[in-house]
Chain A
Amino acid sequence: MSEFLQQLDPVSLLSITLITATPLTLAALGGMMCERSGVVNIALEGIMLTGAFIGYAVAFFTHNLWIGVAAAVLSGMIIASLHAVLSISLLVDQIVSGMVINIMAVGITGVFYRTYLESATSAGPGTLPHWNVPVLSSIPVIGPIFFENQFVTYAMLVLILVVHFVLFRTVWGLRTRACGEHPRAAETAGINVHFVRYVNVITSGALAGLGGAYFSLQQIGNFLPNMTGGRGYIALAAMIFGKWTPVGAFGASLLFSGSDQIGSRMQSVFHVQIPLQFLGMLPYLLTIVVLAGAMGRAIAPAAVGRPYKKE
């Protein structure tokens, strides 16, 4: 039994699950801020890719990881403001606008990576340091999972609570949700719908940009073309599966990243051959299932996807 536990190593399993859930959760939180205010955000993938690239490029040239993280967040906000201008002010279809950003991100990161970074020979900026929280990190089981992490993972844990508080306990959150459910009523109550949507879309860029920094600055300390590899869409799935709530999205992200880890352990520990592709399908299939109303229906904010014209 003990040998079995040693092989399964549940603590490291949970730890890796939490770490790999980091970018998913951050992007899902971003998508949530955006969609709660009534703007669909399928651009999470592109925003993360941009954040990963700009974060790495800035860290590379300034030799400072923290400036890199800040740059990732800022670049996410900038590219998200393009989504905001297009979809809120210019009334471009929000799906089209999001798609434009995803395509644009591949182009920008690809072109500038090739020109400035691909053949760079000097050493990279490395990865963000591990911080062990004093006292707490020595708690068995919980310590190694939660309190021996890197910056982006800590930030994610804090931001789950922050987004939850902002959305459900503040005036801003109430206004955000009002704009997402019934913008005309919100406007009548004196809320500037366009302003609220702008701020929320740009905030979503900051969150997804930070999620992008995970890939290049926390995980491997390098940038690779298209390194987000569709994780922005899994984040979208996590947001829906979590029913547009921060805690739900976090749980969904853990489920999705955990199923990957469990899949690989299944083969090494139990010698059970579940094709990895089937486990990979899980996030997408579960999302379709909740959208179809089985397992408790996921209901999007009522006005999501609809541009709002002022009177």
Chain B
Amino acid sequence: MAGWRRWLLSAVLVPLVSVICGFAVGAIAIVAAGADPLMAYSALFAGAFTNHNALAETLVSTTPYVLLGLAVAIGFRAGLFNIGAEGQFYIGSLSGVFVAYSIRGLPGIVEVPLAMIAGMLGGALWASIAGALKARFGAHEVITTIMLNYVSFLVASYLVDTPGLMLARNVSTPRTPDIDAGAVLPNLLPGSRLHLGFVLALIAVPIVWFLIERTTIGFRLRAVGFNQNAARAAGMSVGRTIVLTMALSGALAGAAGIVQILGVNFHMTDTVAAGYGFDAIAVALLARSNPWGVLPAALLFGALHNGASFMQLETQVSADLISIVQASVIIFVAAPAIVGWLFRLRRAPTETVAITQREVDAPTT
């Protein structure tokens, strides 16, 4: 019973209160910017859910957040902070789009899986560079993945901008050729952009949950996240687990990239992505690294992402407002002491949230 209440507090109540507090901070910013928070938020809501096609568009934006949130969450569970989801998303898009525009005339049932595999493989390989550097040399994955993010943007820019590589012929702005018609993900709702990728993202949730909670690989992954020394003492290869976890994480991020290509964009440009990877960290934090929690968290971020432009159009409040809301939400999720203090919870969850189970320099007594 006590355990159940504890779970309710940490997995439901704290995130929920954090989201409310995040919107409250956002409201302060809206007032400071001389607008009406109520109007701005109702426009945000309308843009995300109630306008024509808004819900479908929100689900379209939710799709990459689900996959990327899962990618970051699986890293967290092994004690790895994968800031590089953005870069893996890019490399996954690149390798996937290459396959998707190169193959011609095969049925969709063949082309889509081929492109998906290529995208996931690209993301997995890219991420395992950081994993291998950590396992072999102890290079901190946060720094290496940040650096690899920028390398991946430049790789994409080079490949997409250079004639003879991936640049399409006769286009005004640099981009790759369009993918083959057979590789396009089927549309789910005529008249909208909602595509099969959303269903694929939904299916990924239980798969990742099963992988983490019910398989040997998942057990190793959690053991390494919980205590590397104990895992090593139990005979597990910590290094191999780190590389494998990063590869799994990168595969999910790469899947997000290629799904976005096959379902929404149909080709790739050289412009830097919309910061999905960074938002994904927030999604995973809000979900408390629980695959099931990723779903509502991703839906929230998808809705914010989608509603923001309508809000900017209607109320002149910049769409960047959602960054303030997101940052505040993470603060409240990551520092539950604030929420406890704000609401004078009797048993405030004062323990620190071990994001990556990093060692805390605390007294041993």
Binding site for B on A (CB under 8 A): 40, 42, 86, 90-93, 95-97, 99-104, 106-116, 183-184, 225, 230, 233, 236-237, 240, 275, 277-278, 280-281, 284-285, 287-288, 291-293, 300, 303, 305-309, 311
A291, B320: Cβ atoms under 8 Å?
A: no
Quote the shortest CB–CB distance from A96 to chain B (angstroms): 5
Q: What is the CA–CA distance of A308 and B358 in the complex, to the nearest angstrom?
A: 12
Within 8 A of A (CB), among B115-167: 133, 136-137, 139-140, 142-144, 146-148, 150-151, 154-155, 157-158, 161-162
Best-surrounded residue of B323, B325, B337 (most CB of chain A within 10 A): B323
Inter-chain contact A86/B335, CB cutoff 8 Å: yes
Question: Looking at the complex, which of B3-11, B191-199, B245-253, B326-334 is the stretch in contact with chain A?
Answer: B326-334
Contact of B150 with A96 in the complex, beta carbons under 8 Å: no
Contacts of A86 in B (CB 8 A): 331, 334-335
B345 in the interface (beta carbon within 8 A): no
Interface magnitude class on chain B: 35 or more
Give Cα A230 to B273, complex, Å: 13
B320 touches A288 (CB 8 A): no
Give the residues in chain A near B41, CB-CB below 8 Å.
none
Pick from B29-37, B95-103, B204-212, B213-221 the stretch touching chain A.
Answer: B29-37
From A42, A110, A292, B133 is in contact (CB under 8 Å) with A292
Interface 9-mer from B46-54, B60-68, B223-231, B277-285: B277-285
User: Is the pair B323, A106 in contact by a Cβ cutoff of 8 Å?
Assistant: yes
Interface of B, secondary structure class, is helix
> Could you mark each residue 77-105 of chain B with 1 if its beta carbon is under 8 Å from any beta carbon of chain A, else 0?
00001010000000000000000000000
- For A102, what are the chain B residues with a Cβ–Cβ distance below 8 Å? 278
Contacts of B362 in A (CB 8 A): 309
- A157: shortest Cβ distance to chain B, in Å? 27
Residue ID in chain B nearest A45 by CB atoms: B146
Q: How far is the CA of A139 from the CA of B316 in the complex (A)?
A: 54
B144 near A107: Cβ-Cβ < 8 Å? no
Please name the 4 residue pairs, one residue from A and one from B, whose CB atoms are nearest each other, closest first: A110-B320, A107-B323, A107-B324, A104-B327
Q: Are B146 and A103 in contact (CB under 8 A)?
A: no
CA distance A85 to B358 in the complex (A): 19
Asked whether any CB of chain A lies closer than 8 Å to the CB of B114, the reply is: no
A103–B330 CB distance below 8 A: yes
**Can you identify 14 A-B contacts, CB atoms within 8 angstroms?**
A99-B83, A99-B330, A100-B331, A107-B325, A110-B320, A110-B323, A112-B33, A115-B34, A115-B318, A225-B320, A284-B150, A287-B143, A308-B361, A309-B363
- B334 near A115: Cβ-Cβ < 8 Å: no
The chain A residue sitting closest to B336, CB to CB, is A90
Question: Is B355 in contact with chain A by the CB < 8 A criterion?
Answer: yes
Beta-carbon contact of A103 and B33 below 8 Å? no
Q: Would A288 and B139 be within 8 Å (CB), given that A95-B81, A281-B150 are in contact?
A: yes
Cβ contacts under 8 Å, B334 to chain A? 86, 92-93, 96-97, 100
Q: In the complex, what residue of chain A is closest to B318 when comparing beta carbons?
A: A114
CB distance from B316 to the nearest CB of A (A): 7
Does B352 sit within 8 A of A, measured CB to CB?
A: yes
A261 to B359, CA, bound (A): 42
A residues near B139, Cβ cutoff 8 Å: 288, 291-293
Is the CB–CB distance between A277 and B144 below 8 Å?
no
Closest residue of chain B to A116 (Cβ to Cβ) is: B33
Task: Kindly report which residue of chain B lies nearest to residue A237, judged by CB atoms.
Answer: B147
Q: A97 to chain B: which residues have CB within 8 Å?
A: 334
Q: Are A99 and B151 in contact (CB under 8 A)?
A: no
**Residue in B closest to A109 when the chains form the complex, CB atoms:** B320
Contact of A277 among B155, B337, B356 (CB under 8 A): B155
Given contacts A104-B323, A306-B358, contact A113 B335 (CB under 8 A): no
List, in ascending order, chain B residues with CB within 8 A of A100's CB: 327, 330-331, 334
Find the B residue at minimum CB distance from A309: B362
CB distance from B164 to the nearest CB of A (A): 12
A288 to B334, CA, bound (A): 29
Q: Is the CB of A303 within 8 A of B285?
A: no
A108 CA / B83 CA spacing, docked (Å): 22
Q: Complex: how many Å from CA A91 to CA B350? A: 10
When the two chains form their complex, are residues B356 and A110 in contact, meaning their CB atoms are under 8 A apart?
A: no
Q: Are B143 and A291 in contact (CB under 8 A)?
A: yes
